[in-house]
Amino acid sequence: MIDGVCVSMNHVIHNFILMENVLTQGVRTASGIVGRERPDMGFGWKMPEHLLEMTYAEIEEKNLEMKRARKSGVPADVLKEKFLNYLKEERGIKAVTVCFTDLEGKLHTLDYDKNFLVSSHDNLTFDGSSIRGFTAQSESDLRLKVDFSSIRFLPSDLFGAGKVLVFANVRDKDGSLYVSDFRGKLSDFCEELRVKRGIMVNIAPEIEGFLFKGVNAEQSFSEEKGFELATMTGYFSSLPQDILRLFIDKFAEVQRALGFENEKDHPEVAPAQFELNYRYTNALESADQIVIYKLVGKQVAMMMGLTACFLPKPIQNLNGSGMHTNMSFEKDGKNIFYNAEGKYSLSAEAHRAITGILYHANDLCLIMNPSVNAYRRLDPAFEAPNEIKVSAVDRGSMVRIPIGNEKSSRIEVRTVAPDVNPYLCFYSIASAALSGIDAAEDVLKEMESKAYGRVKELPGNIQTAIELFEKSKFMAEILGEDSRDKYVALKKRAADRSPEALGTKVKNGEILFHHEVTNQSLWASF
């Protein structure tokens, strides 16, 4: 099998090495038709001729090859060696964009010169005190360990020519996993499940967002004016050349090139709202794709003079944006959540998983709804999934059972907001599911009596969610007390910037001090 894996990987790398810079002959790339005359980059600069560019079709092919390599279980050391060799040989690559996320899930990127990364990839450090929720200034140095399996080739019209992207996990000074890096935590969690129990966690999110007029509409938000919708078209009613449809089309094109394996894309219920769906995959890959999805959406919108917004409820009198999270467990290539004879065609394991999630619903609420603004979405007048129950039909339920078959049977956690830390969220939800699957019979009965008793609602504001989270033994156990306390401190700081009573008007504080919007200047305001 190892020989087979190596042959497959050699085929992947062989295709990498075959990528020649044929720009001098004139080809269609992500930037358009190019040849010897390089396009003007602005300020009188010309794009250097030697930088690697590929067509969208070529980019998709390379990214799908890497995705197959990741899923086939090619050893990490093999991928590392092959990727480093590729960087050395490909003269068209100038830099590697290294990505990581903080405790709240905000994306951070660093561009490393290719030659520097090749020679120093095992000694990448950064100032952890500059990342909110990481280290104190007195003990600031942290390390980045590049995940060489996560390489993505990038369209040059969005990211610039001559770049590739990789994710990194954050490490402590001694090289151990940093306790507040949940990409690393999720990666280790999934690998342990695979090795010890043969289980793979598969997830497909449905990420909604809004398209607003103007660049940086969130950072310039005023509660007196609110956001201005880019269009008034919505669900199934957007014309082919409507600005929302043009945005979705370009977004989908880039998403496809990045190897997402698109399924469908469409305007959502509210005007100027969108959702692009893509294929089910393992939890770590899915979380990486969420981070990239939001990055690409924001970049495409900015290039159109617009803002792609992933806040849960940016406009009070319209439906909010969710990130319905579809999850199943796989073992030996089979979906163990499926049973044709079971209720909702679900297996006993699936029902146990649902029990675990519902039992820990209040513990999980702050993870699934991590911002002041998220609690506006949990409003039953707007199809909010705020009831702690399971249903095959009621979309107000926290957990819904979609129609499925042997391959697609799954549970859908509808409470998740699009501004979550996806690594932390998936790790926590999967851990809650396992608590039900692994529970002894007497413990399971106790969990069922609480989960399926009188229907309760999730907290209606972040203050209550913080209080429940802070008291949760389950969250302290799976996150560690240090990360739990850091997360609480971050959320309290944000909550203190807004009134506890949400009221009918979206407030400045819940937008400007949102973890995905704010910066040092905004945070110092007021």
Indicate the burial class of 466 (C-beta count within 10 angstroms; 0-12, 13-18, 19 or more).
buried
Q: Is the predicted pLDDT of residue 42 greater than 50, yes or no?
A: no
When pLDDT is averaged across residues 46-55 and rounded to a whole number, the result is: 69
Would you state the pLDDT for residue 49? 57
When pLDDT is averaged across residues 184-200 and rounded to a whole number, the result is: 96
Q: What distance separates the 2 farthest-apart alpha carbons in the chain?
A: 74
- Report the DSSP pairing between strands 124-127 and 141-153: antiparallel
- Residue bearing tokens 């197959």: 68
Average pLDDT, the chain: 88
Bridge partner list, 282? 202
3-state SS, residue 397: strand
Q: Is the predicted pLDDT of residue 222 greater than 50, yes or no?
A: yes
Q: Out of 3.10.20.70, 3.90.650.10, 3.30.56.10, 3.20.20.140, which CATH number does the structure's domain 2-178 have?
A: 3.10.20.70
- State pLDDT tens for residues 266-321: 878 899 999 999 999 999 999 999 999 999 999 999 999 999 999 999 999 999 99
Q: Is the predicted pLDDT of residue 199 greater than 60, yes or no?
A: yes
Least-confidence region, from 7-11, 482-486, 503-507: 7-11
Percent with pLDDT over 90 in the chain: 74
Q: Is the predicted pLDDT of residue 510 greater than 70, yes or no?
A: yes
3-state SS, residue 519: coil
> Please, which pLDDT band fits residue 139 given cuts at 50, 70 and 90?
low
> Please, which pLDDT band fits residue 52 given cuts at 50, 70 and 90?
confident
Q: Is the predicted pLDDT of residue 371 greater than 50, yes or no?
A: yes
Domain residue spans in the chain?
2-178, 194-511
Rounded CA separation 132/520 (Å) = 10
- State pLDDT tens for residues 395-410: 789 999 998 888 899 9
- State pLDDT tens for residues 82-118: 999 999 999 899 999 999 999 999 999 999 999 999 9
- State pLDDT tens for residues 319-336: 999 999 999 999 999 999
Rounded CA separation 183/195 (Å) = 18
* Number of Cβ within a 10 Å radius of residue 456: 15
Those residues whose C-beta lies under 8 Å from the C-beta of residue 42, and which sit 6 or more positions away, are: none
Q: Is the predicted pLDDT of residue 11 greater than 80, yes or no?
A: no
Least-confidence region, from 131-140, 150-159, 341-350, 369-378: 131-140
- Report the DSSP pairing between strands 411-413 and 323-331: antiparallel
- CA-based torsion, 370, 373, 374, 378: positive or negative: positive
Q: Which residue has the higher pLDDT, 186 or 2?
A: 186
Q: Which residue has the higher pLDDT, 52 or 103?
A: 103
Bridge partner list, 211? 308
When pLDDT is averaged across residues 226-235 and rounded to a whole number, the result is: 90
> Please, which pLDDT band fits residue 19 given cuts at 50, 70 and 90?
very low
When pLDDT is averaged across residues 239-255 and rounded to a whole number, the result is: 93
When pLDDT is averaged across residues 486-508 and rounded to a whole number, the result is: 93
DSSP state of 258: T
Nearest to 169 by CA among 154, 189, 155: 189
- CA-based torsion, 244, 248, 254, 258: positive or negative: positive
3-state SS, residue 360: coil
Nearest to 135 by CA among 466, 470, 481, 483: 483
Q: In which region does residue 198 sit, left (phi positive, over 0), alpha (psi from -120 to 50) or beta (all else)?
A: left
CATH superfamily for 194-511 is Glutamine synthetase/guanido kinase, catalytic domain (3.30.590.10)
- What is the full DSSP assignment across 202-249? EEEEEEEEEEEESTTTTTT--TTT---BS-S--TT---TTSHHHHHHH
Would you state the pLDDT for residue 266? 82
Q: Is the predicted pLDDT of residue 515 greater than 70, yes or no?
A: yes
For residue 59, what is the enclosing H or E element? helix 56-71
Please, where are the H alpha helices in 154-206?
156-159, 182-197
